[in-house]
Structure 1
Amino acid sequence: MNFALNTPVETTLGEQLLLLSLDDESGVEKQAANVSYAIAAASLVELALAGRVEVHDDQVTVRDAAPLGDPTLDAALADLSGDQKRKPRRTKEWIEHLKKGAVAGTTKSLVGKGLLREEKKKVLGLFPVRRYPEADGSVEAALRQRLDEVVMRGADPDERTASLVALLHGAKLHGLLYQKPQLATARTNMEKIAHGQWAGSAVRRAVKAAEDALTAIVVVTVVTTTVL
């Protein structure tokens, strides 16, 4: 069985992660720290899917520096390309580096596509904050349906869906999709999908490296937070 997303608005993996993480009404981001790393990792995966970068021995190198036409991805690619003369960085280092502008660029893109709207508020009447509630829920609804077909109903994932599942799994973001009592089953199924043979070796290497790096980052973040 194959299941493909068919929506009028195309979204990147990073945009899909952000849509899944935002509360539709309030615009508050759930698990913000993990999501920001996952969005940064999604940039590397997108570039690998497009044949722009590859990962060997956990080191990221640029194969083709031609822009893709997406501001966030092109900025990440330019950053990677400009770093080529230096010692190659490992996947985890790149994810930590790209995280700085990942959420802001992705949010701006979703507002531009009409999927989010920006609201400016003041907390306690003093501190200005920006929130991004949903403006058009059709894309997220179709995305959740596709993920549910793949994760819980056994549909065969395409490369992009499986890549998204791997990013969610690596960043421990299963709870963005499911709660108890489905959570344990979903976590097991997502792990199987993430490690399946659904793409060519180059893409699988990049996704596996991103997933492993996310897991390492999340573990360190949890340990640090617990100690503090």
Structure 2
Amino acid sequence: MHVPGSLPQCVYLLAHDPGKGRVRWGTELGLMLRAAALADLFASGHLTDERGRAVAVEGRRPCDDPVLEALRQEVAGSRPRRWQHWIGHRQRAMVKAVRAQLGGDGWVRLQPYRILGLFPATRVTIRDPRVRKALLGRVGDALRKPVGRVDPADAALVAVIAGGGLGLVLDRKARRAHKRRIKELTELSGPVGAALRAAIREAALGEGAV
């Protein structure tokens, strides 16, 4: 089954609850999408890690994916910063960009509407439910296969989902049961998984201080 080629698009589809017809309230969607995009850029060699900071690799051709390229340019135009910083930056813009990309590529149907007749919103419907099921299958395979046989993209997918606490895909019981494998896949996928967990902790502390 064909699935989207970018990690942020895959994460968005997995975060979409078919039963509710939307992403659940409380889901750290923005943080996960930013982390997924950074993981894609790290895997493709557009970004590298220097002493815990994200750095754009010079001489690489621009990304074909416009969402990933926009983030690459953000990093390239800044001094080296922690991965955690980039994960927490411009989350709403990332959500809108990935959602629009999914709509433009035909993976979802986007229907504008107004909440209570006042507040503009967008209803998202996955066009082919089999796509999300295929992504769930990839997550399950990554947790069962020998680590050496796991596709790096699937390792990063698990790292982001587990790091973001996406209970719709991996609830606490599943994360406990696969704790060792999740740790292995997170390490395999680079610095983003650990940075995502740190960003979520930081966001929670910030909310508590308000």
TM-score band, normalised by shorter chain:
0.7 to 0.9
Partner residue, 1:23? 17
| SS of alignment partner, residue 125 of structure 1 | coil
Whether 1:36 aligns to 2:18 is no
Q: Does the C-alpha gap of structure 1 residues 25 and 33 become closer, same or farther in structure 2, counting only changes over 3 Å?
A: closer
2:75 to 80, 83, 91: 80
With over 3 angstroms needed to count, the CA separation of the structure-2 counterparts of 1:215 and 1:114, relative to structure 1, is: same
Counterpart CA distance in 1 for 2:174 and 2:35 is 26
The SS at the match of 1:10 is: coil
Unaligned runs of 5+ in 1: 1-6, 199-203
CA–CA distance in 2 between the matches of 1:47 and 1:180?
A: 28
Alignment of 1:1-228 (within 5 A): 7-24=1-18, 26-30=20-24, 34-63=28-57, 64-83=59-78, 87-151=79-143, 153-155=144-146, 156-173=149-166, 175-179=167-171, 182=174, 184-195=176-187, 198=188, 204=189, 207-208=190-191, 210-226=192-208
Structure 1 Cα separation of the partners of residues 21 and 66 of structure 2:
23
TM-score, length basis structure 1? 0.80
Identity percentage over the alignment?
25
Output one character per residue of 1:138-189: Cα deviation in whole Å (capped at 9) or x when no partner. 22111111111222x335311111111111222222x121447545314554
Please list the CA deviations of residues 63-114 of structure 1 after superposition, one character each: whole Å capped at 9, or x if unmatched: 144212111011111222222xxx3212111222252421111111111121
SS for the counterpart of 2:80 is coil
Contact 1:121–1:130 at 8 Å: present in 2 too? yes
Q: Which consecutive aligned stretches of 4+ in structure 1 deviate over 6 angstroms post-superposition?
A: none
Cα gap change, 1:183/1:50 in structure 2, threshold over 3 Å: closer, same or farther? closer
TM-score (norm 2): 0.86
Match for 1:221: what amino acid? Answer: A
**How many correspondences in the alignment?**
207
1:54 and 1:62 in contact (8 A); partners too: yes
Distance change in 2, residues 1:90/1:138 (3 Å)? same
**1:178/1:166 CA distance change after superposition, 3 Å:** closer
SS of 2:122 mapped into structure 1: strand
Whether the 8 Å contact between 1:25 and 1:133 is mirrored in structure 2 is no
- With over 3 angstroms needed to count, the CA separation of the structure-2 counterparts of 1:72 and 1:32, relative to structure 1, is farther
Residue range with higher mean Cα deviation, 23-32 or 37-46 = 23-32
